């Protein structure tokens, strides 16, 4: 097979000192290391894994300045579309006073220095890349600037305080001298890191807050961007695995006689997750896999039916669960109430369905393992790969490629796709790329959990809520993963009740309970995690209460919010920009509204909706966002647009169902994504703020489903209490 | 295995693959042109869209034999035409991509549309782009980039 592309491997360097020396000698560069106190591998230790040893890892480096003034920012977050290869370098460049046009980006290797500043491991998720890097990367940039100025000042024999940096040059204004960063980088690299740095005042920002074009666009419009699936290494085989049709099933016996006859097939092997077919390319591997005859030991997963689960969940939702929140006495208040609403909600399992199906390239040798994959979770994947390969952590390298979408799936809490790939590589004994077909990806589990909710709520004579009793039923995402010790307290998985346990509205008697049933279907975080269902439930119920009280949904919410709160801020802004109560909409169109806090950001959305022949159509969505200070406003707009689309696809169409343990959907013909003609116009209004930046990758998603559902009620009088909406008869 | 001569991005290549191999895998694995993406394998997502004699086709369901004697253009060869370059320029100006995985297919479909119809209406754009999925939510920017390209073509058409 001819080779398509080779990813050059980075050279392992045993220590920061040696790396500094090498980088000076080889590249004439400056390397700035930056340490923060870490929680250091607690999750790994809890998982029974050895925490990484920093001394044998590559150096802690975020910036390299070459002699030609090119500045490479090493980014420790995975680029999956959310724009971190642009926004994180902006933080560095702002304080470095770098020439933005000469910034390059490189993905970080796995090393402790690249750990997330609050999660204590290298991971991209939780809409946290900007908030967690905001201080760190500006300090990195400022430290480098100070050293460059110091080095130039020493060369000129002038006081450091008389020099400043601008556009990748150090300038001594008094004498009119200036020098490019590249020319003083060597000297700067030999200086001690400054102990204290002062960061710019926001009024002096040159890049932060400006709409900056993405640095990855040129590669992504020419086909040059390398995703995991685009990695080809010498003598690499392509492997497809036939996995059990039922979660938890095992191979009983198999016959590969016909499969092995397919030209190009190099071998068929039993592996822990099924039967692996190795071939010279994708097509022979896929052709051969279809010819395998496999008998499975299906196990208890074969009895799973989501229709049955729905009944069980609904029944469970009417029984008391573990208490996640209790204020006042909701039961007593409900008993005495005149106006009560009781409602049941259900939302299905959802696949992430990123455009790039999962894939991993593994080059496994006796004493080394090199992995190329688009992962969001380097530290855990690295540790799990080492454990699976039976190698020391320092013998394993992961190259993070571009991710063709992540949405949470590529931060698998149990490293499913990486462990499997290493297991298969061990059996095959050759360099290989394990490819998941779209069908494998859709049926491979690790879904957004299916949830059922029950709410009883009451209002008083003034229309204000007096009681709210909410019970949630759904699998815990953290249970059985290394995240369990941090995320589950007293049996409550924080992700199951987020967005429900802490309501912004004044409700004197509030009770939120949780049931976390278990089954064989693996579940995982999916863009906005628990909020993807709690916002739907809470915000449609608030709409019902407003209706019961005979009040306008926006005014009703505002009357229950702190007037100066950021909730109220975005709600008012969205209503104002949409012309809530003023805009005359076309006949058959109506507005619906929802507001929700997730990942420390506040988002309100007003959706303009019509129902045509029973089909919900969303024409326009007006979003108001308060995510603190904004680094790249165009990036924020992209993320909110994307969040709306992702949430809308799920609200209208998304559904994974199981019968006899088998996933009923397989590809985009039956697991429906939003297509071009269904795309609403999306307006994004950003509330000016001086608060530190908060998340933006996910917060656009939660409000869209309830905003649309509330508009549908206005149009049809029918309450949408389950998703997807296209399963509900509206005609 | 049979041999086929393929003209890809104006160059002839002799490839030796099974007759039913989809063009997609020949481009990606035999010729190393990885800009064309695999997304679904059943003409549902359009990530694999390339041009066959200037028309947009789904290479994941097009057997290699069907491409013989025709001109195949992939994202890697698109900038060789003024039209292709203009579309890519509009994509850059609007800053369309997010994850970027679907963008080769989007750009190939948009270019084929503009070749047939240099000033498409919004409805015509939607109809032409309906088959190319994006999960990141770039559709509005895609529409805007196609409109930008159409304007650019009017201005400096060669």
| pLDDT tens track for A487-523 | 999 999 999 999 999 999 999 999 999 999 999 999 9
Number of CB pairs, chain A paired with chain B, less than 8 A apart:
199
Selected residues 404-433 of chain A with any CB under 8 Å from a CB in chain B: 404-407
* A23 has pLDDT over 90: no
DSSP lists the bridge partners of residue A615 as: A612
* A171 has pLDDT over 60: yes
Taking the C-alpha atoms of residue A552 and residue A512, their distance in angstroms, rounded to an integer, is: 26
Quote the percentage of chain A above a pLDDT of 90. 88
Give residue A46's pLDDT: 53
- The residue length of chain B stands at 158
Mean pLDDT of A655-670: 98
**Cβ <8 Å between B25 and A227:** no
Please give the biggest Cα pair distance in chain B. 50
**Cβ <8 Å between B92 and A407:** no
Mean pLDDT of A422-443: 98
Quote the percentage of chain A above a pLDDT of 70. 92
Give me the half-sphere count of Cα atoms (radius 13 Å) on the Cβ side of residue A405. 26
Q: Chain A contact for B29, CB < 8 A?
A: yes
- β-pairing verdict for A369-373 and A396-400: parallel
Confidence of residue A31 (pLDDT cuts 50, 70, 90): low
Helix A633-652 vs helix B139-156: crossing angle, to nearest 10: 120
Instruction: Indicate the pTM of the whole model.
Output: 0.93
Smallest CA-to-CA distance from A636 within A650, A625, A645 is with A625
- β-pairing verdict for A103-107 and A71-75: parallel
Q: What DSSP string runs through A90-142?
A: HHHHHHHT--GGGEEEEE--S-GGGS-TTTSSS---TT-HHHHHHHHHHHHHH
DSSP lists the bridge partners of residue A341 as: A457
Smallest CA-to-CA distance from A529 within A322, A326, A695 is with A695
Helix (H, G, I), strand (E, B) or coil at B14: strand
Selected residues 99-118 of chain B with any CB under 8 Å from a CB in chain A: 99-104, 107
Give residue A44's pLDDT: 52
Q: If you ran DSSP here, which 8-state letter would residue A523 be given? A: B
Mean pLDDT of A468-477: 98
Mean pLDDT of chain B: 96
Confidence of residue A486 (pLDDT cuts 50, 70, 90): confident
Give residue A50's pLDDT: 52
Tokens of A627: 């995510």
Q: Chain A contact for B140, CB < 8 A?
A: yes
How many other CB atoms are there within 10 angstroms of residue B2's CB atom? Answer: 11
Mean pLDDT of B136-142: 98
Residue with the larger pLDDT of the pair A731 and A11 = A731
Alpha helices in A483-615 (DSSP H): 484-487, 494-497, 531-548, 553-560, 566-578
Confidence of residue A45 (pLDDT cuts 50, 70, 90): low
Mean pLDDT of A708-715: 98
Taking the C-alpha atoms of residue A500 and residue A517, their distance in angstroms, rounded to an integer, is: 18
Site from B25, B91, B100 to mutate, A interface, most A CB atoms within 10 angstroms: B100
Q: Is A614 left (phi over 0), alpha (psi -120 to 50) or beta?
A: left
Mean pLDDT of A256-263: 98
Selected residues 657-676 of chain A with any CB under 8 Å from a CB in chain B: 667-669, 673-676
When mean pLDDT is compared across A40-49, A569-578, A704-713, the lowest value belongs to A40-49
DSSP lists the bridge partners of residue A244 as: none
How many other CB atoms are there within 10 angstroms of residue B55's CB atom? Answer: 12
CB within 8 Å of A131: residues ≥ 6 apart: A600, A628, A692, A693, A694, A695
* A34 has pLDDT over 90: no
Helix (H, G, I), strand (E, B) or coil at A412: coil
Give residue A189's pLDDT: 87
Tokens of A410: 């590529």
Give me the half-sphere count of Cα atoms (radius 13 Å) on the Cβ side of residue B78. 33
Confidence of residue B54 (pLDDT cuts 50, 70, 90): very high
Site from B8, B36, B40, B49 to mutate, A interface, most A CB atoms within 10 angstroms: B40
Give residue A35's pLDDT: 38
Shortest distance between the Cα of A606 and any Cα of chain B, in A, equals: 18
Residue numbers in A near B139 (CB within 8 A): 645, 674, 676, 679
DSSP lists the bridge partners of residue A372 as: A361, A399
Shortest distance between the Cα of B58 and any Cα of chain A, in A, equals: 15
How many other CB atoms are there within 10 angstroms of residue A40's CB atom? Answer: 15
The partner residue sitting opposite A221, judged by closest CB among B21, B88, B101, is: B88
Q: Chain A contact for B25, CB < 8 A?
A: yes
* A51 has pLDDT over 50: no
Q: Chain A contact for B44, CB < 8 A?
A: yes
Q: A52-83 pLDDT, tens per residue?
A: 443 222 234 799 999 899 999 999 999 999 99
Helix A531-548 vs helix A553-560: crossing angle, to nearest 10: 100
How many other CB atoms are there within 10 angstroms of residue A628's CB atom? Answer: 22
Mean pLDDT of A150-164: 98
* A656 has pLDDT over 80: yes
* A322 has pLDDT over 70: yes
Helix (H, G, I), strand (E, B) or coil at A199: coil
Helix A378-389 vs helix A416-428: crossing angle, to nearest 10: 30
Give residue A227's pLDDT: 98
DSSP lists the bridge partners of residue A612 as: A615
Q: Chain A contact for B13, CB < 8 A?
A: no
The partner residue sitting opposite B76, judged by closest CB among A214, A223, A356, is: A223
Strand order in the sheet with A169-172: A163-166, A169-172, A177-180
Shortest distance between the Cα of B116 and any Cα of chain A, in A, equals: 19
Give residue A58's pLDDT: 29
Shortest distance between the Cα of A580 and any Cα of chain B, in A, equals: 23
**Is A376:A78 a contact under the CB 8 Å cutoff?**
yes
Measured CA distances, B151 to A148, A328, B83, B121 (Å): 46, 63, 12, 12
How many other CB atoms are there within 10 angstroms of residue A429's CB atom? Answer: 12
ipTM: 0.98
The partner residue sitting opposite B137, judged by closest CB among A79, A229, A642, is: A642
Confidence of residue B156 (pLDDT cuts 50, 70, 90): low
How many other CB atoms are there within 10 angstroms of residue A196's CB atom? Answer: 8
Class of residue A358 by CB neighbours under 10 A (exposed 0-12, middle 13-18, buried 19+): buried
Tokens of A164: 């400043």
Q: Please state the three-class secondary structure of A279-321 as a single string.
A: ECCHHHHHHHHCCCEEEEECHHHHHCCHHHHHHHHHHHCCCCC
Residue with the larger pLDDT of the pair B141 and A11 = B141
Shortest distance between the Cα of B155 and any Cα of chain A, in A, equals: 22
Tokens of A492: 């409550």
Mean pLDDT of chain A: 92
The structure tokens 């013998």 sit at A395
Using only C-alpha atoms, chain A has a radius of gyration, in whole angstroms, of 27
Tokens of A614: 């029973």
């Amino acid at each position: 097979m001819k080779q398509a592309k080779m990813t050059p491997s980075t050279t392992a360097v045993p220590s920061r000192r040696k790396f500094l020396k090498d980088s000076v000698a080889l590249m004439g560069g400056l390397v700035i290391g930056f340490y923060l106190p870490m929680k250091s591998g607690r999750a790994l230790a809890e998982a029974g894994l050895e925490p990484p040893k920093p001394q044998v890892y590559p150096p802690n480096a975020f910036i390299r300045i070459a002699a030609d003034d090119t500045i490479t920012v090493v980014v420790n977050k995975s680029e999956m579309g959310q724009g971190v290869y642009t926004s994180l370098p902006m933080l560095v460049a702002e304080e470095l006073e770098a020439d933005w046009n000469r910034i390059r980006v490189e993905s970080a290797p796995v090393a402790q220095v690249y750990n997330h500043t609050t999660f204590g491991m290298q991971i991209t998720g939780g809409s946290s890349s900007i908030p967690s890097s905001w201080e760190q990367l500006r300090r990195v940039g400022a430290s480098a600037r100070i050293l460059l100025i110091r080095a130039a000042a020493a060369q000129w024999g002038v006081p450091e305080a008389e020099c400043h940096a601008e556009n990748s040059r150090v300038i001594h204004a008094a004498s009119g001298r200036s020098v490019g960063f590249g020319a003083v980088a060597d000297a700067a690299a030999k200086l001690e890191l400054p102990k204290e740095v002062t960061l710019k005042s926001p009024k002096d920002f040159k890049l932060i807050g400006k709409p900056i074009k993405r640095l990855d666009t040129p590669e992504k419009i020419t086909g040059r961007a390398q995703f995991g699936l685009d990695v080809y290494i010498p003598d690499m085989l392509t492997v497809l695995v036939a996995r059990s049709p039922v979660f938890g099933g095992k191979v009983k016996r198999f016959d590969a006689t016909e499969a092995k006859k397919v030209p190009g097939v190099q071998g068929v092997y039993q592996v822990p997750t099924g039967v692996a077919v190795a071939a010279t390319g994708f097509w022979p591997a896929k052709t051969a896999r279809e010819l395998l005859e496999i008998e499975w030991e299906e196990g208890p997963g074969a009895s799973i039916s989501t229709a049955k689960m729905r009944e069980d969940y609904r029944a469970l939702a009417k029984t008391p669960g573990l208490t996640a929140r209790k204020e006042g006495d909701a039961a007593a208040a409900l008993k005495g109430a005149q106006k009560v609403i009781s409602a049941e909600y259900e939302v299905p399992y959802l696949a992430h369905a990123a455009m790039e199906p999962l894939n991993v390239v593994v080059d496994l040798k006796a004493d080394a393992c090199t992995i190329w994959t688009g992962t969001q979770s380097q530290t855990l994947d690295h540790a799990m790969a080492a454990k699976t390969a039976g190698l020391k952590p320092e013998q394993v390298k992961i190259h993070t490629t571009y991710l063709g979408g992540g949405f949470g799936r590529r931060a698998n809490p149990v490293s499913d796709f990486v462990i499997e790939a290493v297991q298969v590589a061990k059996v095959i004994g050759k360099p290989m790329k394990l490819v998941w077909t779209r069908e494998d990806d859709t049926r491979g589990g690790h879904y957004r959990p299916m949830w059922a909710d029950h709410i009883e709520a009451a209002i008083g004579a003034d229309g204000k809520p007096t009681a709210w009793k909410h019970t949630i039923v759904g699998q815990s995402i953290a249970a059985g993963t290394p995240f369990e010790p941090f995320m589950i307290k007293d049996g409550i998985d924080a992700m199951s009740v987020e967005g429900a346990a802490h309501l912004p509205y004044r409700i004197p008697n509030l009770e939120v309970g949780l049931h976390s049933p278990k089954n064989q279907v693996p579940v995982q975080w999916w863009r906005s995690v628990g909020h993807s269902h709690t916002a739907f439930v809470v915000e449609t119920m608030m709409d019902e209460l407003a209706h019961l009280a005979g009040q306008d949904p926006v005014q009703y919410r505002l009357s229950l919010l702190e007037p100066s709160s950021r909730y109220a801020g975005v709600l008012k802004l969205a209503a104002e920009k949409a012309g809530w109560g003023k805009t005359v909409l076309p006949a058959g169109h109506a507005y619906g509204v929802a507001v929700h806090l997730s990942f420390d950001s506040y988002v309100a959305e007003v959706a303009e909706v019509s129902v045509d022949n029973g089909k919900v159509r969303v024409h326009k969505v007006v979003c108001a966002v308060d995510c603190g200070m904004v680094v790249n406003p165009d990036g924020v707009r992209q993320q909110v647009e994307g969040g709306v689309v992702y949430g809308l696809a799920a609200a209208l169409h998304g559904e994974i169902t199981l019968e006899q343990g088998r996933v009923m959907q397989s590809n985009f013909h039956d697991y429906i994504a939003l297509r071009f003609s269904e795309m609403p116009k999306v307006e994004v209004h950003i509330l000016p703020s001086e608060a530190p930046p908060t998340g933006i990758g996910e917060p656009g998603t939660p409000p869209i489903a309830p905003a649309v559902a509330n508009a549908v009620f206005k149009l049809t009088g029918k309450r949408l209490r389950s998703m997807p909406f296209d399963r509900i008869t509206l005609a | 295995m049979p041999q086929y001569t393929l003209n890809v991005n104006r160059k002839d290549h002799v490839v030796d693959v099974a007759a039913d191999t989809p063009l997609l895998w020949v481009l990606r694995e035999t010729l190393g042109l990885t800009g064309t993406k695999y997304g679904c394998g059943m003409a549902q997502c359009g990530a694999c869209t390339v041009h066959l004699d200037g028309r947009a086709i789904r290479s994941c369901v097009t057997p290699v034999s069907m491409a013989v004697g025709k001109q195949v253009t992939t994202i890697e060869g698109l900038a060789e035409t003024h039209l292709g370059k203009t579309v890519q320029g509009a994509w850059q100006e609007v800053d369309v991509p997010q994850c970027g995985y679907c963008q080769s297919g989007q750009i190939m479909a948009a270019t084929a549309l503009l070749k047939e119809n240099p000033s498409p209406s919004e409805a015509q754009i939607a109809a032409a782009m309906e088959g190319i999925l994006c999960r990141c939510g770039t559709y509005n920017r895609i529409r805007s980039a196609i409109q930008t390209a159409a304007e650019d073509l009017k201005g400096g058409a060669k």
